[in-house]
Structure formats: C-alpha cells, structure tokens
Amino acid sequence: MKKGNIYEGIAKRLDFPNKAVVGVEGETDQALVKGALPGQKVSFSVKKKRGGLAEGHLLEILAQADYEYAPDAPEVCPHAATCGGCCYQTVPYEKQLEIKEDQVRRILEKAIVSGDHLESMSTDVLEVSEKSEDLEAAEEPEKACNMLFEGILPSPHPTEYRNKMEFSFGDEYKDGPLALGMHRRGSFYDIVTTGDCRIVHEDFRKILRAVLAMYASKDVTFFHKRTHQGYLRHLLVRRGVRSGEITVALVTTTRRQEESRAFAESASAELEGMADELSGGKNDLISVRKENETQLITEEDDELRSVLLSLPLSGKIVGISHIYNDSVADVIQSDRTDIIYGSDYFFEEILGLKFKISTFSFFQTNSLGAEVLYSEVREYAGGIEGKTIFDLYSGTGTIAQILAPVAKKVVGVEIVEEAVEAARENAALNGLANCEFIAGDVLKVLDSLKEKPDMIVLDPPRAGIHPKALQKIIAYGVEQIVYVSCKPTSLAVDLEALQAGGYRVERACCVDMFSSTANVETVVQLSKGEINSKKVRVEFSMEDMDMSGFQKGATYGQIKEYVKEHTGLSVSSLYIAQIKQ
C-alpha cells in the first residue's frame, strides 16, 4: 500500500476501541481504518504507513456486513448516519457484545503472561492441566486465556440507559439554524440535533426539543469555538433511573445582551438619548445596559422554568440551574451558578444504597449497568469480613460504600475534592461510619497513610495508574487486588507491572455499560502467590529427540507438531513462548 492511494477491502476484525483491520485483495499489507465494522466492504485512503501496517481514512462503506440492520431499519437511531455519539447503531446487541468481548479478550491475552497459566518451567519441563479437554482448550493463545476470562455481561437495558447527557448548542452547517445535540461524526464544530436519540429516556428527548424550540424563536446565538463569541453553550440533563428525579442545567456565557442584535440596537438608541441626562456619563450608560441585560436573562430564565415544568414527563424535574461559563475551553464548568428552580442535585439508588448526585458529581452514566458492574466487583472482592480495604481513585465513593457494610473499614482516596465531599455526604446518608475519604493524589497520599490494607480496589481514570503510584501499591503486598478499568488498553499496561510485582491474574470479565458505543468496563481479580489449580508435571528430555531439522529455526506450528508427534502432548503458543524466554 502507498500513502495517498485509495483501496477497497474487507474489515476482518475490530481493535479497541473502533479501528478495523482491513485486508485488501492482492496486498500483503493491512490497514487500520477507524469507523469500519467487521465484515463491511469499505473504501479508504492511506494516510500513513509503517512497516506492513497502514493507517487508513474511511471514505465509504461499500457493503454492510451480513449481520447489520439496514440504515433505515426501525431498530436503528434516525441520527446514526451523522451523529458521532454512537458507532454500533446498525449492529444487533448480541453482536455488539461479541465484538467487545473479543476485543477485551485479545488485549488480555497479550497482557497476561504465561506464568498465569503455568508454574515456572524449564526447557525440559512442561506443566499441563490434568483434564484432556483443558489441553485442547489451551491449543491456541486465545483459548488459553478463556480459562481465566469469564466473558461479557450485558447492560440490563441496551437502549435508553443513560442517566446523564451533555448536549451542545451549535449549527449543523455554517450559518445554519440553531441546533442542540451531539457533535457530527468527525467534526469538532458541527452539531446534530438529536431529538430522537435512542440511548436516552424519552424525558431527555422532550426536554431537548422544548429548550431548542424556545431559544430558536429568539434572536440569540451559540458560543462559537473559533471566535469565542456567543451565548448558548450546553444543556446538561441528569435523570435517576430508580428515582425518576431530573435536574436540568443551561450553560451559557455571561454575554447575552451582546448577542441579541435586536435588543442591542433598540437599547442602544434609547440609552444614547439618555446619556446626556445621566450624571455618570459613560459609566452610567454601561450600568444601565447591564441592568437591562440582567433583566433579559431573568425573564428568559423564568420562561425556561415555565417551559420545562409544563412538559408531560414520566419523571419529575427537581432542579433547574443556569450555569455561567466564560472559559474558552469546550467543557462544562461553572464560573457562577444560579438555581432558578428547586435544587442542583437529585437522588439515585444503587444496590440498595442511596446517592445524592449534584450537577458536577461523577456517577456511572448507566445506573442499572452500574449495579451489574459493582456486583461483580463485590464478588471478585470475596470474603472481606474484618478487612481494611483501600479504594484508590474512589470518585464519589460508590464502590467503597458497597463494600463497607461487610468490611471492617474502607479508605477511599480521590484527587477531586468535590467528589470526596460527595462521598462523605453519601456515606453519612447511608449510615456508613466505617468509610474514610481522603482528598489528594494517590501517588502522594499513600506516603502519608499509616494504615495497611488487607485488600486494594483500583478504579483509575482512562489513562490508568501513574507508574510510581503503581509501585507503591505493589509494595503493600496485599493478597488480593481488584482492578476496575474503563479502558482495557490502559489496564493491559498496568497488568504488566502488577505481574512483574508478583501478582497473577485469577479472573477477568467485562461489563457493557455503554451500549451502541465502543466503550466497555473490565474487572480483573489479581492475587499474590500460587494459583489454586490442579496441575500435573510432565517431563521429557530433548536429548533423545532429533532436532537437526530445526537448526535454522522453526515456526510455532512446526514445534507444536514435533512435540505432539514425539510426546503425544498438545502445547500452546504460550508454552512455547515461555520456553523460548
């Protein structure tokens, strides 16, 4: 393949998160093409090439995979072709699970050293499982990993599962009408109105459509990322699945009057006529304009409250806020927040515990999926009676509080102070006196902790754990670690260090928390010491074997055949790799 050329090929598999490996007939090279799905025929241009692997830019899907829904099928979101929020809308849910399970399994195969399947062995000793069917299962690396990997658990609801959405204001094309929704696929600037989004409850859709209709009828602009001018920025909606409670937050800049041409022109003419009569001259003029701007915003906030509270929703709006953000960054943050109705928080229940969730609180976006995830964490933690547990990167303390009713004590460490305050408040709400939450960087806090844990739970951000922090965690030498990861490739990097520190991967599974998207959660149980599995030692000497045919080197396949022929044993590529080391 050559850079700049256009090719057609079939996607063979999908690597995490969404890069398809595409083969082209007549070409020995393969290409990674973002956005293609396994089985699709696609055309792509080569952006760059290194070795036998090219990076391609998807141009067109020439033919769907045989398992896909048609683009206009009722199962497919009407925004699927343009919205950048989902990538699996045409994929049946069972196939989505299959793809994600395969991705995580392959990542773990590479990350889990063969010592997790075998005890140490020399070139003259192979250790194999006692059962013949396990020998068969270990024939290939991916099958060997199946003995530890427990597959994927589905989301209880594949659709309408999200409890939080951050919608953006913008336009679908330059100078187009006001839009409110998600970014167009592949675009940083264009916004697609997603009034029929399939991954949120109907209440979200009604709120989006009502807010868009209200502001589209006014002479008001959105915040432009290039010029950093404009008023409307985001609409943040959160809804408790168990409670049905809803909070809505409108995010704008403080420059409302400047962005209303009609208001500015009329106010300017009136104020200029008054200027000579005002004692303060220019300063008084500015003051009056600010007063009028404040009045306009207040009137619109009143209208927004009235519009939202009149909607026929299945849930109940318990809070409406107006957040002001003049930052140039495209993030939701508060320079000032005005609560225009109710409160800025709602309550949600997870596994029998109650959690207060404010506007900026981190909380898993799939409430029912979180129950599946945390149930697995609780199971992987095992018997924790009388034990002290460190919950590192604890967020708002959800995992800590789920383990606390059984454990002796749980210590949570989290760098975001607001999350720590929320964790403390929620622990008190649930009557859990054995939870302690510390605000600070795990890397630094571990040096100051005097207590020693019996077990550690890790739930780091997407980038994984700082290498120095990981070494401090390993130094505790706890018998068991449970690692929860939202990015399996980061998990794989950390597993290398944990295994080098003497830990073995006992069990692993993944949980689909984000249906129709490429994201997935993974849970891994690691232990210090020997694996409790029954093994037999099989010894044979290489001295009596004629190896002359392999003097120039042998492939793994040839080695497997040779060992099978001379010993009757089936060995895997993992076994061979361990011997070669």
Looking at the annotation, which residues are catalytic?
486
Rg (the chain; Cα; Å):
29
If one counts every other C-beta atom within 10 angstroms of the C-beta of residue 580, the result is 9
The angle formed by the CA atoms of residues 277, 282 and 286, to the nearest 5 degrees, is 105
* DSSP-derived secondary structure letter, 224: P
> Among 406, 363, 361, which Cα is nearest to 381's?
406
Contact yes or no for 475/500 (Cβ under 8 A): no
Task: Tell me how far CA of residue 250 lies from CA of 57, 196, 275, 322, 440, in angstroms.
Answer: 36, 20, 34, 5, 30
Query: What gap in Å lies between CA 399 and CA 374, rounded to an integer?
Result: 7
**Which residue from 161, 154, 246, 172 is spatially nearest to 198, judged by alpha carbons?**
161
Backbone angles phi, psi at 112, to 5 degrees: -85, 115
- Structure-token pair, residue 323: 């957040």
Give the residue among 534, 541, 533, 471 at the shortest CA–CA distance from 503: 471
Contact 413, 391 (CB under 8 A): yes
Residue environment code for 364-390, b if the CB has 16+ CB neighbours within 10 A, otherwise e:
bbbbbbbbbbbebbbebbeebeebbbb
d(CA 478, CA 491): 19
Q: Which pairs from 189-197 meet CB under 8 Å and 24+ separation?
A: 189/225, 189/226, 192/79, 192/82, 192/83, 192/84, 194/79, 194/83, 194/85, 194/167, 196/77, 196/78, 196/79, 197/77, 197/79, 197/83, 197/85, 197/165
In this structure, the strands spanning 178-183 and 191-193 are: antiparallel
Q: How far is CA 30 from CA 50, 164, 525, in A?
A: 11, 39, 35
Among 234, 225, 276, 226, CA closest to 252: 234
Which residues are CB-neighbours of 225 under 8 A, at least 6 positions away?
Answer: 188, 189, 330
146 contacts 105 by C-beta, under 8 angstroms: yes
Q: What is the DSSP string of 271-288?
A: HHHHGGGSTTTHHHHHHH
Q: Establish whether the linkage from the previous residue to 17 is cis, with ω within 30° of 0.
A: yes
**Whole-angstrom distance, CA of residue 24 vs CA of residue 11:** 9
For residues 559 and 576, give the distance between their C-alpha atoms in angstroms, rounded to a whole number. 8
Beta partners for 436? Answer: 411
Tokens 């590192």 sit at which residue?
392
